[in-house]
């Protein structure tokens, strides 16, 4: 199977339009930091078409970078389906940008995500008036063969909070991770861009993968407070921070099998600065900082 990181930044992208933090300013100046688009990957099996996991607001430019074979017909989609890990705006705003599809958009996600995108942020009913939606429920713990490909996908619970647009309803939306298995090669890829609980179940799945693409949102739990941006902690936003005891970096450093790559990196995260001590710590842990256009064969 092949995976391409379409967007390696968290919501807001890098640099973020209204942010003057040191890392965003470095990206603007082109000094020791490269701009990144918002969180999404594309996956394809040894056989079959590309599939999108998460649909970012930067989807149009991201899909232009995807290598696709010649196809018949004037209107031919470069991706066969979209899988959603959650209902956050950075992972779902791109669905509206697929409204020109000439066939109903095939979308996979949990029932909690379907409800959020129906009642809270009604992208699915809106698409109903354009392309239409062919919704496929994929619950945490469940797995499915992906039609027309050699891939199977399994979803697992990754914790986390509901999107802020649902706060007034009190509805729960837990994020999921996705494990892709290629029946024809045996390769295993795990994608978890929002990881709030690094428990034994999640660690076991990461340890049993060939490549993992993991939540690298924040370096510190109080990263936003330190910069005077917000009082919300990484934990309150549904992300285990990278640094410190119990942090994601320590956990990834302990895994021997997978190639570990960080994705969904927030624009405040100092690992985006190529000569920072934090970047150095990531590299020393044997972990990679994801970037847009990174491809891996699994
Ligand atoms: C998150 O990853 O925590 C959310 O996408 C934050 C947001 O942009 O609302
Ligand atoms: Mn996000
Ligand atoms: Zn910033």
Is residue 134 pLDDT above 90, yes or no?
yes
For the segment 5-18, the average pLDDT, to the nearest whole number, is 98
CB of 194 within 6 A of ligand 1: the answer is yes
Are residues 233 and 221 in contact, defined by beta-carbon separation less than 8 angstroms?
yes
Q: Which of 47-51, 134-138, 279-283 has the lowest mean pLDDT?
A: 47-51
Question: Where does the pLDDT of residue 3 fall: very low under 50, low under 70, confident under 90, or very high at 90 and above?
Answer: very high
Which of 234, 201, 187, 228 shows the shortest CA–CA distance to 215?
234
Question: Where does the pLDDT of residue 75 fall: very low under 50, low under 70, confident under 90, or very high at 90 and above?
Answer: confident
Is residue 14 pLDDT above 80, yes or no?
yes
pLDDT the model gives residue 112: 98
pLDDT the model gives residue 67: 86
Neighbours of 244 (CB within 10 A): 13
207 burial type by CB count under 10 A (0-12 exposed, 13-18 middle, 19+ buried): middle
The DSSP secondary-structure symbol of 265 reads: B
Question: Where does the pLDDT of residue 31 fall: very low under 50, low under 70, confident under 90, or very high at 90 and above?
Answer: very high
The mean pLDDT of the chain is 97
pLDDT the model gives residue 210: 98
**What does the pLDDT look like over 90-101, one tens digit per residue?**
999 999 999 999
Measured in Å, residue 210 CA sits from the centre of ligand 2 at 24
Six-digit token pair at 57?
């607001």
For the segment 215-240, the average pLDDT, to the nearest whole number, is 98
For the segment 253-259, the average pLDDT, to the nearest whole number, is 98
Question: Where does the pLDDT of residue 33 fall: very low under 50, low under 70, confident under 90, or very high at 90 and above?
Answer: very high
Instruction: Provide, rounded to the nearest whole percent, the portion of the chain with pLDDT above 70.
Output: 99
Measured in Å, residue 78 CA sits from the centre of ligand 3 at 32
Residues 249, 240: Cα–Cα separation, whole Å: 10
Are residues 196 and 239 in contact, defined by beta-carbon separation less than 8 angstroms?
yes
Residues 194, 271: Cα–Cα separation, whole Å: 17
> Which of ligand 1's atoms lies nearest the C-alpha of 10?
2
Ligand index nearest the alpha carbon of residue 23: 3
Is residue 70 pLDDT above 80, yes or no?
no
For the segment 94-120, the average pLDDT, to the nearest whole number, is 98
3-class DSSP state of 274: coil
For the segment 113-135, the average pLDDT, to the nearest whole number, is 98
Single pTM value for the model: 0.98
Closest Cα to atom 4 of ligand 1: 88
Q: Which of 62-71, 128-137, 160-169, 207-216 has the lowest mean pLDDT?
A: 62-71
CB of 11 within 6 A of ligand 1: the answer is yes
pLDDT the model gives residue 69: 79
CB of 237 within 6 A of ligand 1: the answer is yes
> Which of ligand 1's atoms lies nearest the C-alpha of 91?
5
Write the DSSP string, 76-96: --SEEEEE-S---HHHHGGGG
pLDDT the model gives residue 257: 98
Residues 273, 19: Cα–Cα separation, whole Å: 16
pLDDT the model gives residue 149: 96
Are residues 3 and 295 in contact, defined by beta-carbon separation less than 8 angstroms?
yes
Six-digit token pair at 293?
């256009």
How remote is the C-alpha of 1 from its chain's centroid?
17
pLDDT the model gives residue 29: 97
Measured in Å, residue 231 CA sits from the centre of ligand 1 at 14
Question: Where does the pLDDT of residue 68 fall: very low under 50, low under 70, confident under 90, or very high at 90 and above?
Answer: confident
Decide which of 24 and 76 is more confident.
Answer: 24
185 burial type by CB count under 10 A (0-12 exposed, 13-18 middle, 19+ buried): middle
């Amino acid at each position: 199977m092949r995976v391409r990181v379409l967007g390696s930044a968290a919501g807001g992208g890098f640099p973020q339009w209204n942010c003057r933090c040191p890392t965003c300013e470095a990206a603007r100046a082109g000094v020791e930091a490269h701009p990144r688009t918002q969180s999404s990957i594309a996956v394809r099996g040894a056989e079959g078409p590309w599939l999108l996991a998460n649909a970012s607001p930067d989807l149009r430019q991201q899909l232009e970078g995807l290598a696709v074979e010649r196809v018949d017909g004037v209107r031919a989609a470069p991706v066969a389906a979209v899988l959603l890990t959650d209902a956050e705006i950075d992972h779902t705003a791109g669905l509206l940008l697929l409204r020109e599809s000439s066939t109903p958009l095939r979308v996979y996600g949990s029932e909690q995500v379907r409800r959020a995108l129906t009642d809270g942020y009604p992208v699915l009913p809106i698409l109903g008036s354009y392309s239409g939606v062919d919704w496929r429920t994929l619950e945490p713990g469940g797995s499915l063969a992906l039609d027309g490909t050699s891939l199977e996908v399994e979803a697992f619970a990754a914790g986390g909070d509901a999107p802020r647009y649902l706060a007034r309803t009190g509805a729960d939306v837990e994020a999921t991770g996705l494990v892709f298995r290629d029946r024809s090669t045996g390769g295993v890829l795990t994608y978890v861009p929002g990881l709030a609980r690094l428990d034994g179940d999640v660690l076991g799945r990461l340890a049993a993968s060939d490549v993992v693409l993991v939540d690298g949102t924040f370096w510190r739990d109080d990263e936003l407070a330190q910069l005077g941006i917000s009082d919300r902690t990484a934990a309150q936003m549904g992300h285990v921070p990278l640094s410190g005891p119990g942090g994601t970096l320590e956990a990834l450093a302990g895994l021997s099998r997978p190639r570990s790559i960080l994705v969904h990196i927030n624009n405040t995260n100092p690992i985006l600065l190529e000569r920072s001590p934090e970047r150095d710590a990531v590299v020393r842990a044997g972990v990679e900082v994801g970037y847009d256009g990174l491809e891996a064969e699994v």
